[in-house]
Amino acid sequence: MSAASPLVPAARAEWLLRSILSGGVVYFALFVLVHLILAVTSSGGNLLDAVCLVLVVAPQWVLMRRGSLDLPRGQSIGIGVVLAAAAVVGLASIADIARPDGYDAWFFGAIAFDLLGLSIVGRFGTAWLTMVVLVVACVGWAALGDRPLAVGVGLIVRHIATLAVGTALAASLRRSNAASVAFRAVQRRRRTEEDVARARAGARRSAVEQVLEQAGPTLRAIAEGRRLSAEDRRQMIVLEGALRDQIRTPRLSASELRPVIDSARRRGVNVLLLDEADEATDAARAQAVHWLAGRLEQTVDGGFVGRLRDTAGGGVRVSAVGDDQGDAEVFQ
């Protein structure tokens, strides 16, 4: 319970981020409706207002339709250019108003919402660069209309504050979301490792049980005190070696080597296997096992040591050492 509790605020942060971006048709319809009413009622509405409305609605549609919290740089720059154009068209629509009030400059509120969307998808630089362009446009609009510069600044100053607060919130939510994603990735990797460990342990236990089951008749003969023949002794050597192999080298024991090893031990070969190839590909391991089986079949008696080791690129180096000779090969 304690391990899951830190995830709750992060999960809520991710949900909030995604809900802002994917509010759906209702959110988009409200956005369009509110700014349409402002465009029509603020200064009577004209063609420039209609163009400006399209320019501020289009970026909102793009941002709302995204299924992730990331936005390609090209799209973000394109949105910034469109919003700068919307500001220019909107300022042109109120060029005849000496001192416009907040509702006359309704388009800046819509642009501020679009810039908040850019912040949410992590494009803070583009959002603030666009805001600087808006400030310059407002100052230029005031200067060209022989108005005090404070009039132009007054159109945009409150939206600067809105973007500042929104940027801080978006940055905090994105950090929480990143922590949540990293935490879930660690959990998935840990569960995968545990599943693999359980599967390996289960397979090894099953293999050992199979060997012990094969040893049943021999163990019963020993318990009953029956005399053991030479074949019984050879079988005991084979079973003892098979049990050791299942514990130490389970992957080799489950390969085509198994019958070859048993046959070699029955004819008196002392077989020792070492498997140190944990990163080798399946194809390389299969080739190495086949090569090792061939060398073991050629060993008549004495000792035999077979060893697998990793090489670069997922390959495996396999060696076979007998009493009087040794050989090695590398498979990729």
User: Cα angle at 55 between 109 and 87, to 5 degrees?
Assistant: 55
Both 282 and 219 in a single domain?
yes
Confirm whether 205 is domain-assigned. no
Confirm whether 264 is domain-assigned. yes
Q: What's the pLDDT score for residue 308?
A: 93
Tell me which residue of 214, 213, 299 sits closest to 257, measured CA to CA: 299
Mean pLDDT on 235-244: 76
Q: What's the pLDDT score for residue 4?
A: 45
pTM for the structure as a whole: 0.52
The CA distance from 115 to 119, in Å, is: 6
Both 96 and 242 in a single domain?
no
Q: What's the pLDDT score for residue 5?
A: 46
Strand 315-322 relative to strand 303-311: parallel, antiparallel, unpaired?
antiparallel
Which residue would you say has higher pLDDT here, 219 or 86? 86
Taking CB atoms within 8 Å and a gap of at least 24, the contacts of 236-240 are: 237/265, 237/266, 238/262, 238/265, 238/266, 239/211, 239/214, 239/215
Q: What is the mean pLDDT of the chain?
A: 82
Confirm whether 153 is domain-assigned. yes
| Domain end residue (candidates: 165, 186, 207) | 186
Q: Decide if pLDDT at 2 tops 60.
A: no
Q: Decide if pLDDT at 46 tops 90.
A: no
Both 222 and 305 in a single domain?
yes
Both 43 and 179 in a single domain?
yes
Minimum mean pLDDT among 83-92, 123-132, 234-243, 285-294: which range?
234-243
Both 152 and 255 in a single domain?
no
Q: What's the pLDDT score for residue 22?
A: 52
Confirm whether 261 is domain-assigned. yes
Mean pLDDT on 15-42: 73
Both 172 and 269 in a single domain?
no
Minimum mean pLDDT among 68-72, 162-166, 304-308, 325-329: which range?
68-72
Both 12 and 139 in a single domain?
yes
Both 167 and 238 in a single domain?
no
How far is CA 171 from its chain centroid? 20
Range of the domain at 321: 215-331
Q: What's the pLDDT score for residue 238?
A: 77
Confirm whether 13 is domain-assigned. yes
Q: What's the pLDDT score for residue 234?
A: 75
Instruction: Tell me how crowded residue 236 is: count the other CB atoms within 10 A of its CB.
Output: 16
Q: What's the pLDDT score for residue 221?
A: 63
Q: What's the pLDDT score for residue 219?
A: 64
Both 54 and 161 in a single domain?
yes
Both 58 and 114 in a single domain?
yes
Q: What's the pLDDT score for residue 77?
A: 92
- 214: Cβ–Cβ under 8 A, 6 or more apart, which residues? 239, 242
Mean pLDDT on 146-162: 89
Confirm whether 134 is domain-assigned. yes
Q: What percent of the chain has pLDDT over 70?
A: 83
Mean pLDDT on 269-297: 90
Asked if 142 contacts 152 with a C-beta cutoff of 8 angstroms, the reply is yes
Both 179 and 226 in a single domain?
no
- 270: Cβ–Cβ under 8 A, 6 or more apart, which residues? 302, 303, 304
Confirm whether 208 is domain-assigned. no
Total structural domains in the chain? 2
Both 91 and 165 in a single domain?
yes
Confirm whether 287 is domain-assigned. yes
